[in-house]
Every structure is written in C-alpha cells, then in structure tokens.
Amino acid sequence: MARNHRTRNAPLSLVEAVEAFILDGMARRLSPYTLGIYREKLTHFTTWAATQQIETIAQVDARALRLYLIHLAETGHNPGGQHTHARILRAWLNFLEAEGLIPESPMRRVKMPKLPKPIPDVLTREEVRALLAAAEHSRDKALILALLDTGARVSEFVALNVGDVDSTGAVQIHHGKGDKARTVYLGYKALKALRRWLWEREDPYTLDSPLWTSLHHPERGTRLTTNAVRLILLRLGQRANLKRRVSPHMFRRTFALWSLRSGMDIYTLARLMGHADIATLRHYLAIAEMDTANAHRRHGPVDGWLSKEDDS
C-alpha cells in the first residue's frame, strides 16, 4: 500500500520542523513539562508566522524573527517571557541547522532580548522569624527550616521520604532536575525541628513513607503536594502579617544568597542546588560581593578605627 511521503525537494513546513524538534526531544527523554513548553512557544510562533504568510522554514529569516520579538513586546509579554520565546526559537533553529534541514540558523543574526537584573526576591531574617512564630504546628516549623536549609526545589521537597534523611542531616534527593540525584543537608536546628515533627506524627510511618504529610486526617499520612506547600506558606505569611506573598522558591533564593553571604564558595553552592554550572548563580554572587564591599566601607580598619586626628 502506497504511503503519502513529502517529496525530497518539497519545502519543509513549519509544522514539520516543529514536530522534528519535538521528536528529537522525546528521543533525548526530555521531561513532558519541557516538551510541553517547547510545543506551546513554537506553536505561538507558527500561528503568528501564518499571519505573515510564512509557511515554510525556508521563509524564516532574521527579519521575521525580529518582527516576532517586536510582536511579543507589543502584545504584553514581559522581558522574561520574550527571552524564553527567543531561547526556544534559538534551540529549535540550531537543531534544524545541525540536522542539515536549513543551511544556517537565522537566529545567529538576531540579538537575544535583554533580561532585567532585579535583586532576587529573598527573605529577610525578620520575615523568617515571623513565619516561624506564626507556625502553630511542628510540621510547619520543620517545613520552613528544611526549605531554607536545603535549598531544594519544591517538587524535590515534597518527593522526599522519611528514609531519605539520615541521622546526620544528610538528605538524599533522588530525582532532581534532569533526573539527577544529589545530597543536600540539614543543620542542627532544622534536623531537631524535623525530629520533633516525626515524633508528633499520628500515622504509622516507615522509611518509605512521605516525609511531609497533610494535617487533614493526619492518621492517613497523605503526601503533601507542591500546591499544598504553596498554600501553607501563603497562609503562614498572612498570619505573620508579611507585606508580600511567600512562595517556596523564595526559600531557594534565600538559601543561595545567605549561603554566599556566610562564606560558601559558589561551586559548592551550585552542587547543592543541583545546577550544572554557576551561570545561574552569578547574580547572587554579585550581590554577596557588594555586601562585602559595603561591609568594608562601614567596618574597614582604617576608616572604621583610625580617627581623623591619627590619619596623617
């Protein structure tokens, strides 16, 4: 039975080009979430391209890409969203070039949208203390301290089992980003709070039981979801009368900045946070170094201790 194949010299449609990229991602075992984002952003591009009578990959040039980025800005996409679209377009076109489906990626001639560099949204000591004071249950106190001390992503955090934490405070994360395992740690205070939570639990837990469970029907030992953790922190923030919403990722950012401020080197921090390189953390490092410079200006031995009368 004859099959309907695209002829060898027929132009490659945008839809075919997207499907080839998604198929490659599936073969490389990218997560369904990542593939979903790729498909969503590229479909957004192909839909816009159709309005410009661009139907084949050969019609996608640097001018079209620049027009698309302008379109994103004019239709309300923030700089972060524009940058995400541009990164995915670049990855897609680089793939097509590598496969020999286009002679060269036109994205090479297009500058990436600039990202603003805001100060990371981190918690202050006062805010953490207020959250702890607002926590009425041992689970919530342990949850706050463990999020802060491990720097774990919320998805990694809720996936932990009781047996993933040993007596020294070492915490095994089995499926981090990219399905990579790593070890993070709890200090003395966080480990003490966790032990109290385990002591007060009402379910007959084992080493394979969820570490973080719901307080609704506590005897069931139902694992917390990522959304449940977000709601717990939101309510604690409201109870603590904080002026901003508290999210799980704020704890991860706070872990990064506080660790650098305390003297941790950036390479160790990258390993603890599950980053393949230090690029993501450079902004935190710049802030920590600024802190150091400001501290020297305030407390340096010459300006801080020598009086003007002694300075001659």
Q: Which domains does the chain show, CATH number per domain?
A: 14-109 (1.10.150.130), 125-297 (1.10.443.10)
Pairwise CA distance, residues 196 & 84, whole Å = 43
- In this structure, what token pair is assigned to residue 68? 């698309």
Rounded CA-CA distance 75/110 in Å is 20
Tokens of 39: 């498909």
What is d(CA 14, CA 187) in angstroms, rounded to the nearest whole number? 52
Give residue 1's pLDDT: 38
Q: Which residues pair with 160 in a beta bridge?
A: none
pTM over the 0.75 mark? no
pLDDT of residue 30: 87
Q: Exposure string (b/e) for 214-252, b if CB count within 10 Å is 16 or more?
A: beeeeeebebbeeebbbebbeebbeebebeeebbbebbb
Tokens 């309907």 belong to residue: 4
Are 150 and 194 a contacting pair, CB within 8 Å? no
Question: For residue 2, what pLDDT is reported?
Answer: 40
R_g over Cα of the chain: 25
Q: What are phi and psi of 170, to 5 degrees?
A: -70, 135
Residue type, 94: N
- In tens digits, what is the pLDDT along the chain, a chain of 312 residues? 344 444 456 789 999 999 999 999 999 998 888 899 999 999 999 999 999 999 999 999 999 999 999 999 998 888 878 888 999 999 999 999 999 999 999 999 999 888 766 566 889 999 999 999 999 999 999 999 999 999 999 999 999 999 999 999 999 999 887 778 999 999 999 999 999 999 999 999 999 999 999 999 999 999 999 999 999 999 999 999 999 999 999 999 999 889 988 888 888 998 999 987 777 787 777 777 666 565 555 545 555 555 445 544
Q: Tell me how crowded residue 130 is: count the other CB atoms within 10 A of its CB.
A: 19
Can you give the pLDDT at residue 298? 57
Q: What is the DSSP letter of 223?
A: B
Q: Which residues contact 312 (CB under 8 A, 6 or more apart)?
A: none
| Pairwise CA distance, residues 210 & 203, whole Å | 11
Strand partners, 185: 170
Residue of 117, 95, 112, 116 whose CA lies nearest to 104: 95
Gap between the Cα atoms of 125 and 297, Å rounded: 23
Hey, what long-range contacts does 8-16 have (CB within 8 A, 24 or more apart)? 11/56, 11/57, 11/58, 12/56, 12/57, 12/58, 12/101, 13/55, 13/56, 13/57, 14/45, 14/46, 14/49, 14/54, 14/55, 14/56, 14/57, 14/60, 15/46
